[in-house]
Amino acid sequence: MGGEILPIEVSLMQGKGDLILTGKLGEVMRESARIALSYVRSRGESYGLSTDFYQNTDIHIHVPEGSVPKEGPSAGITLVTALISAFTKHTVRRDVAMTGEITLRGNILPIGGLKEKLLAAYRAGLQEAVVPEENRKDIEEIPEVVRKRLQIHFVDHYEQALPKLIPGLDRQMRQQG
């Protein structure tokens, strides 16, 4: 997402648990998708999913504009969000940008190019952005007009981001918990 909004699509279909990745993804981004799926699998029950929710389902992740190569770990948070949305059928907010590398434990790691990414969110008319806490030090590089219009949420862990990204699921989880 080096300065452009990068939509991610997830399609679920009956199968044997295969992960299909398309859209000219580089190896690091492919690894991010596998990490994202492992994180969602490890937390599935907390999202109201059965322990075997993925076993008879093939998961296809596609990043459109297939002729343009995509690389890097910064879409990790977006991949997790897209997967959770697909499995729970809860809608992701469309006015929020998100960026950050995800670990197997859900930690959100810093990314490069924060200025370019937030400028892209601003140009796209988005209202909010979820970014790694460790990138807070880079905020002074962001033009003031962007900082004033975009509400920026800094997070260390995916569970801090979830209420801002999929509020319906967060409400459901709080009612159950």
Average pLDDT over residues 17-32: 96
CA angle 69, 104, 94 (to 5 degrees): 55
pLDDT by residue (tens digit) across 42-61?
999 999 999 899 999 999 99
**Structural domains counted in the chain:** 1
d(CA 97, CA 137) in angstroms, rounded, equals: 19
DSSP state of 10: E
Residue 4 lies in a domain: no
> Quick one: how far is CA 104 from the chain centroid?
14
Residue 155 lies in a domain: yes
pLDDT by residue (tens digit) across 65-120?
866 788 899 999 999 999 999 999 999 999 999 999 999 999 999 999 999 999 99
What pLDDT is attached to residue 68? Answer: 76
d(CA 118, CA 146) in angstroms, rounded, equals: 7
Task: State if pTM tops 0.85.
Answer: yes
Of the residues 32, 70, 74, 85, which is catalytic?
74
Residue 114 lies in a domain: yes
The sign of the CA dihedral 37, 82, 100, 62 is positive
Task: Please name the amino acid found at residue 145.
Answer: V
Residue 63 has pLDDT above 60, yes or no: yes
**pLDDT category, 174, cuts 50, 70, 90?**
low
H or E element that contains 38: helix 27-43
Residue 177 has pLDDT above 70, yes or no: no
Residue 1 lies in a domain: no
Residue 90 lies in a domain: yes
36 Cβ neighbours under 8 A, 6+ residues apart: 76, 79, 80, 83, 102
Residue 135 lies in a domain: yes
CATH number at residue 92: 3.30.230.10
Residue 167 lies in a domain: yes
What Å distances lie between residue 51 and 46, 73, 84, CA to CA?
10, 27, 14
Residue 2 lies in a domain: no
Q: CB of 6 within 8 A of CB of 75?
A: yes
- The domain of 98 spans 9-176
Task: Please name the amino acid found at residue 88.
Answer: T
Other CB atoms within 10 Å distance of the CB of residue 134:
16
Is position 117 annotated as part of the catalytic site?
yes
pLDDT by residue (tens digit) across 123-168?
999 999 999 999 999 999 999 999 999 999 999 999 999 999 999 8
Task: Of 35, 38, 36, 48, give the one whose Cα is nearest residue 80.
Answer: 36
What pLDDT is attached to residue 1? Answer: 40
What Å distances lie between residue 56 and 16, 44, 131, 172, CA to CA?
5, 15, 33, 25
Average pLDDT over residues 10-18: 97
Of the residues 32, 70, 85, 117, which is catalytic?
117
